[in-house]
Chain A
Amino acid sequence: MSTPHGINFGEAPARTRVDQLRRTLGRRTEGRAVALLAVVLVVALVMEPLVFSAYPVTLSRVALVGLVALGLTVVILMGELDLSVASTVVLAGVMMAQTDNVALGVLLALGTGVAVGLVNAFFVVKVGINSFIATLGMLFVLKGLAIVISRSEPIPLENITFAIQFGLPIVGPLTPRIVIFVLAFVLLHLFLTRMRAGREFYAVGGNRQAARDAGIPVDRRLVTGFVMCSVIAAGAGAIDTLERTAADPTAGSTVLLSSFAAAIIGGVALTGGRGSILGTLIGAFSLGTLEVGLTLTGVQVDIQQIYIGGVLLLAVMTDPASLRAARSSLRTSLHGVRARSTDRGLT
Chain B
Amino acid sequence: MNQLAESPTVAAPTAAEPRADGPSIAAKALLWAAERGIVVFTVVLILASVLFVDGFASAVNVADVFHRAAPIGIVAVGMTFVVISGNYLDLSVVAQVATGAVILIGVSNSHSIPIAILVALAVSVVYGLVNGVAVGYFKANAVIVTLSTTYIGLGLLRWLSGGSIFFGPRDGTIESFGDIKLGAVPISAIVLVVVALVLGFLLSRTNFGFVVRAFGSNKEATRLSGVNTPVVVLGAFLITSFAATIAGFVLAAYSNTAVSSMSDGYDFGALAAIIIGGTSVFGGKGSVLRTVLGVVFVSVLTNVLVLSGVGFGWQQVAIGSLIVLAVSVDALARKVSKK
Instruction: Give residues in A with beta carbon < 8 Å to B.
Output: 81, 123, 127-130, 132-134, 136-149, 152, 257, 260-261, 264, 270, 300, 302-306, 308-310, 312-313, 316-317, 319, 321-323, 325-326, 329-330, 332-333, 337-338, 341, 346
Contacts and interface: CB of A to CB of B under 8 A. Distances in A.
B32 interface: no
A264 B321 CA distance: 29
A138 B324 contact: yes
B327 interface: yes
Interface string B322-337: 1110011011101100
A338 B3 CA distance: 13
A319 B228 contact: no
Given A134-B327, A147-B311, A313-B152, A323 B147 contact: no
A310 B149 CA distance: 8
Given A144-B316, A264-B144, A127 B151 contact: no
B323 A140 contact: yes
B154 A305 contact: yes
A321 B231 CA distance: 19
Nearest to A142: B320
B316 A143 contact: yes
A312 B321 CA distance: 31
B48 interface: no
A338 B134 CA distance: 24
Contacts of B235: none
Contacts of A127: 328, 331-332
Contact of A139 (B150, B223, B268, B334): B268
A329 B231 CA distance: 9
Given A128-B335, A270-B144, A313-B134, A306 B313 contact: no
Best-buried of A81, A152, A325 by chain B (most CB within 10 Å): A325
Contacts of B324: 123, 129, 133-134, 137-138, 141
Given A136-B323, A138-B324, A304 B155 contact: yes
B138 A322 contact: yes
A338 B224 CA distance: 10
B272 interface: yes
A24 B313 CA distance: 51
Contacts of B220: 346
A306 B152 contact: yes
B320 A316 contact: no
A148 B313 contact: yes
B220 to A, nearest CB: 8
A137 B317 CA distance: 9
Nearest to B145: A316
Contacts of A139: 268, 320
A330 B320 CA distance: 40
A232 to B, nearest CB: 20
A148 B314 contact: yes
Contact of B281 (A130, A261, A332): A130
A304 B159 CA distance: 10
A236 to B, nearest CB: 19
Given A133-B281, A140-B320, A147-B311, A305 B230 contact: no
Contacts of A329: 136-139, 229-230
B151 A257 contact: yes
A183 B236 CA distance: 45
A129 B328 contact: yes
B228 to A, nearest CB: 6
Nearest to B312: A147
B10 interface: no
- Can you list the 3 inter-chain pairs with the closest CB atoms, starting with the nearest? A140-B320, A144-B316, A309-B151
Given A132-B88, A137-B320, A137-B323, A309 B152 contact: yes
B233 to A, nearest CB: 10
A300 B156 CA distance: 11
A129 B333 CA distance: 11
Nearest to A337: B226
B17 to A, nearest CB: 20
Contact of A310 (B148, B224, B229, B272): B148
B90 to A, nearest CB: 14
Contacts of A136: 268, 271-272, 320, 323
24 contacts: A123-B324, A129-B327, A132-B143, A136-B271, A136-B272, A137-B321, A140-B317, A140-B319, A140-B320, A140-B323, A145-B313, A147-B311, A147-B316, A260-B143, A260-B147, A261-B148, A270-B144, A308-B151, A309-B150, A313-B145, A316-B134, A325-B138, A326-B138, A338-B226
